[in-house]
Amino acid sequence: MSPALSGRWISGRAEDFPVTTISTRDSVDHLIAEQARIFLDRQPRSTELIARARECLAGGATSNWQIAQPQAVWMSHGSGSKVYDVDGTEYVDMHGGYGASIAGHAHPAIVAAVSEQVRRGTHFAQPTEDAIWNATELARRFGLPLWRFANSGTEATMDAVHLARSITGRDLIIKVEGCYHGHHDSVQVSVLPDADEVGPREHPTGVPGNTGIPRAIRDLVVVVPFNDPESVARALSEHKGRIAAMILEPVMMNAGIIPPADGYLAAIRDLLHDSGALLIYDEVKTGFTTGPGGVTARSGVLPDIVCLAKALGGGISVAAIGGTREVMSAIADGRYEQVGTFNGNPLAMAATRATLSEVLTDDAYAHLDALSLRLRSALEAVIGEHGLDWHVVSVGAKGCVTFRKEPVREFRDFLQIDDRYGELHWLMQHNGGVFLPPWGKVEQWLLSVQHDTADTDRFAANFAALAAAVAP
């Protein structure tokens, strides 16, 4: 512990962890360093596995998103609302696989469905009857009649963009600044650009979201701010007759949580349709976490295409695209070939059917709503008690703390938030027995149907320790 800082111990349910009271904002850096040391001390087995993994796995993990400072956490198993790392530490899982694990872990309905299907066969590259049931249920929930299945959110948004171009005969795509839509070329533009890269707000610079994105691809993407219908109108006017579609998260999820302003979704839909362009909702994160029919049902603004993944399969990899008859007819008649060896895989279809029929029920959503309200109220009480300029944003089972007093309406507002508070919050939750996604400024927590009030109360207690440590 830094000798310049005085500290006290706050008791967590898993184990105790130190919290240091600070008087200046700059001291957050010292708190981060302290909590990072505790983080590493708790994980000797993870440290060992990382060293071994670097010999055979590029970067020592199976995805770059699994590599966050201080280091990746290697997991052993999960049960109910809990996960357990290889060092035997139990955590309340509010990471939720970036939104995939709304069923929690080892949900009996999903275990039974997948186990039965494994015994009957794991892959045929031919359809099974579960696919019909699933598509019918998705049509009921989202109000779009025709569906196809895929394997990941990236595949779903890729098919959606390609389908829109096929239908319209146009090449350009409008994309919201700061949104992530998967790792294919068409949408890897202005995902999380730095403040010095974004350019003027009226005409944001298209910043490659990764290396290896050709300029020719960037030139096919028109970037606009979120919650700004006028920018969409301007893009459609400046590129008249060239815009195939606009893709967006109807509740933006790549910068904390940014809800749509009143009338925004309806306004951009009308603008796009008036110009002959399509509206694509990326509901990969929001599709079931915000309600039974996602933001599509909550908003009452129907897109031409919706993309689903993550929570759809209860933890099994699966994705779907749904659309109007006019749009999806291009797949039906062969104008656009939507293909994939594992599309509609029987294991994925069995898991999806169990998730939709037995897990994500009306009672489950009532439970999630009650937990979300309890957690949000507790966090808001802590913020008020300590006089902090923060606020809580939640929608359905997802939520986040925005470490800023003013609401965030677009990505450029988000850029003004101090990253360090999100990092410190993540570390203190982890050391206090709650597992959250890293990059706490960016990502959201997820409640599952297997969480209970004790789980949310543990989260709130850790948050209270954070607030006490950084309060002015």
Joined together, the tokens standing for residue 445 give 């927590």
CA–CA gap between residue 194 and residue 182 (Å, rounded) = 19
Beta strands across the sheet bearing 398-402: 391-395, 398-402, 445-446
User: What is the distance between the terminal CA atoms of the chain, rounded to a whole angstrom?
Assistant: 20
Least Cα distance to 349 among 77, 126, 78 occurs for: 126
Instruction: Look at strands 7-10 and 90-93 and give their pairing.
Output: unpaired
Least Cα distance to 9 among 46, 34, 45 occurs for: 34
Helix axes 108-120, 346-354, angle to 10 degrees: 150
- Neighbour-count burial of 350, counting CB atoms closer than 10 A to its CB (0-12 exposed, 13-18 middle, 19+ buried): buried
Residue 280 in contact with residue 161, Cβ under 8 Å? yes
Joined together, the tokens standing for residue 456 give 């949310």
Residue 466 in contact with residue 426, Cβ under 8 Å? no
Residue 219 in contact with residue 150, Cβ under 8 Å? no
Helix axes 346-354, 129-142, angle to 10 degrees: 40
Residue 219: Cβ within 10 Å count: 12
Active site residues: 180, 282, 310
CA–CA gap between residue 152 and residue 182 (Å, rounded) = 9
Least Cα distance to 167 among 342, 304, 16 occurs for: 304
Give the side-chain half-sphere CA count within 13 A for 13: 15
Instruction: Look at strands 243-248 and 17-20 and give their pairing.
Output: unpaired
Token pair 């993407």 in the structure block, residue: 221
